[in-house]
Amino acid sequence: MKKITLILSLLFASFLIFPVKASNHLSACDTKDCKEYFKAYKILTKRGHSEAMATLGELYYAGYGTDKNIKQALKWFRRAAKFGITSAQYKAGILYLQESDYQDIDKGLKLLKKSTKHSFSPGSFALGKIYLNGGLVTQDLTQADEWLSKAFSLNNQEAIKFASKLKNSPKTVSLALPKLYAMVDSQVENNQASGSYPPINEMETITVSAPQYTEYFDAEIARLNNAIPDTSSGTGSNIAGKTCGNMWGCSTEMDSHRIRDVLLSDWGLETLQFRLN
C-alpha cells in the first residue's frame, strides 16, 4: 500500500502543475484603480449580490485592491457558496482542506460535493484524486472510481489525461478503477475508429492580459448595478443553479475563452498540491 501511495503521489505531482502563463494570474495590485474595483465589489456584496461575493473572494485571494487575506477570501467564498455558486463552493472546499488554522476536512469534502451537483467537473476531479490518494481521507477506490469517472464523462481534460496515465502505467493499471478504465478503453477504441489521436501530454494554454480583467470587472459591476440582488437584505436562502456557465472562476468546460475560466488553473497550481503530491 505504501508503494502504491508513493506512485500515486508522483502521478499527482505531474498533473497538478498546469501550464499557466504568469500573465493569466490575477496579480496583487494596490493602484488607485484596483482599490476602486475592490470598493465597488464591497458595495455590491452589501446589496446582496452573490456573484459579487464570489468575485470579492477572488480579490482577497489575489490581494487585488486590498491586502491578500486568505481568511477573508474563505469568508466570501463561503457566503457565495450559500447561494449555490459552484465555483465558490469549490474554492471554499479547497481552502478548508489545506493545512491551516481553519482546516476542516469534513466541511471541505461537503462543499466539493455540493459543487458537483451542477456538473462542475473540477469538483469531481478533486474528489477523485483525494479518495484515490488517501492522504486527507482513508483511501477509497470505489469513491475514487466514481468521481474520476464523472469528471471524465464531463470532458474534464485534466481528468482524461490523468485517467490515461493511470491506465497505461504498469504500476497503477491493476488498481480497482473499473468504470474509469473502461472509459479510457472506450475512448481509445473511438479514436482508433475515427483516426483521431489527440496528444496526451499537450494542454491548452490561455493567455489573459490585465486589461481584460478590468473589462470583465466593468461589465460585471455594470450588470449587477442594474440587477435585483439575491436578497433585499444581503442574507437569505440559497439560490440554486448558479452554475459554471455564467459565473466568475469557472473552468474551460463551458467556454474556454472567458476570462473567468483561467482562475481555476491558478487554483490547480496553487492549492490542489497541498496534500496530494
Q: What CATH number should be reported for the domain holding residue 258? A: 1.25.40
Q: Is 90 domain-assigned?
A: yes
Tell me what pLDDT residue 208 has: 52
Tell me what pLDDT residue 201 has: 40
Q: Is 17 domain-assigned?
A: no
3-state helix, strand, coil in the chain (%, to 5): 60, 0, 35
Q: Is 72 domain-assigned?
A: yes
Residue-range definition of the domain harbouring residue 154: 2-12+28-270
Q: Quickly count: other Cβ atoms within 10 Å of residue 184's Cβ.
A: 19
Encode pLDDT of 200-227 as tens digits: 444 344 455 556 789 889 999 999 999 9
Rg (CA), the chain: 19
CA distance 59 to 180: 37
Q: Is 75 domain-assigned?
A: yes
CA distance 15 to 8: 11
Q: Is 23 domain-assigned?
A: no
Task: Look up residue 35 and give its DSSP letter.
Answer: H
**Least confident residue range of 22-31, 126-135, 250-259:** 250-259
Which amino acid, 82?
K
Q: Is 217 domain-assigned?
A: yes
13 pLDDT more than 70: no
Tell me what pLDDT residue 209 has: 59
Domain tally, the chain: 1
Q: Which residue in this structure is represented by grid cell 490585465?
A: 210
- All cell numbers assigned to 167: 491506465
Q: Is 132 domain-assigned?
A: yes
Banded pLDDT at 61 (limits 50, 70, 90): very high
Q: Is 18 domain-assigned?
A: no
CB 112 within 8 Å of CB 93: yes
100 pLDDT more than 60: yes
